[in-house]
Amino acid sequence: MTTAAPPFGFFNLRVVRVRRLGPSMIRTTFAGAGDEDLSGFASGGRDQSLSLFLPHPGQPEPVLPPVVDGDLYGTLGAWRAMPDDVRAVMRSYTVRGQRRAGDGTTEVDIDFAVHEDGGPACRWALGATVGDRVAVLGPTSRENTGVRFHLPADADEVLMWADETALPAASAILEWLPAGTRARVWLEVPHAGDRIEPRTAADASVTWLVREEGAPPAVEAVRAAEVTGSAPYVWLAGESGSVKALRRHFVNERRLDRRRVTFVGYWRRGLSEDALREAPEPETEPETGAAAGA
């Protein structure tokens, strides 16, 4: 019996544009590197995640083992066995956008949340220039496990919370939502200049929680809001502690069906993504997901 190939593959990318969106966000646009044209890349939209592989300082490109006979798992195992200071730095990110460029090639946008004391991906994004090379393990089919936002057919309201690391995913979801969909959204960011008003055809009410302006904690802001839908769907993504507290609020206080609450911890305060992967919390803790900056 033939085993179906996983809906993911490795792609070599090069930077074609870099744009600062605000104090805490940089958009980097990639195209295929060398002969790679990204024709096989197929984002499912919404909160589509991928694994981004970055070079260490001084390396011209990320160091990865070759893929032999399409064996992605074997390649990842060989990558893990390489010395930490040699193998490519891997971080999870959201596909902010995919489109055909004017010359017919495929372009992919990734938004990076950046801050002064950021890790290797943050430092890479702050110094990224046209021509820089990276690699991704990304989707080759629009139906794949890297998309977590799945709107139930009977949902009459969407409730969303995201911090700056999940802002790209939340914005992509709002762009995807069908026209007229009722949505209540809380977006938490460090600075007033980080407000990037999302484009959406949904009937969306967006509340910005700006930390430098003294915004209340996420749970307090959400707890004070009225939920009007009888069959809401909830999506929560960002710092794991906040995600966990919000999930408890919706499930324990508002008595929502836990199966209608999608929650993803993109990062945990005080831990790098590497440490987070090595020290998972009990099963009630959000999974590590595709962050916008780590």
From the number of C-beta atoms within 10 Å of its C-beta (0-12, 13-18, 19+), residue 270 rates as exposed
Determine the pLDDT at residue 274.
61
Residues in CB range of 98: below 8 A, 6 or more apart? 41, 43, 106, 107, 108, 109
Judged by average pLDDT, the poorest of 168-177, 217-226, 280-289 is 280-289
Determine the pLDDT at residue 200.
98
Q: Where are the domains of the chain?
A: 8-139, 157-288
Confidence check: pLDDT of 286 > 70: no
Confidence check: pLDDT of 52 > 60: yes
Residue 282 pLDDT class (50, 70, 90 cuts): very low
Over residues 247-261, the mean pLDDT reads 97
CATH 3.80.30.20 fits 8-139, yes or no: no
Distance of alpha carbon 41 from alpha carbon 98, whole angstroms: 9
CB of 119 within 8 A of CB of 273? yes
Determine the pLDDT at residue 272.
56
pTM of the model: 0.91
Q: For residue range 100-141, what is the model confidence (pLDDT) as tens digits?
A: 998 889 999 999 999 988 899 999 999 999 999 999 999 999
What topology does CATH give the domain 157-288? Rossmann fold (3.40.50)
Arithmetic mean of pLDDT over the chain: 91
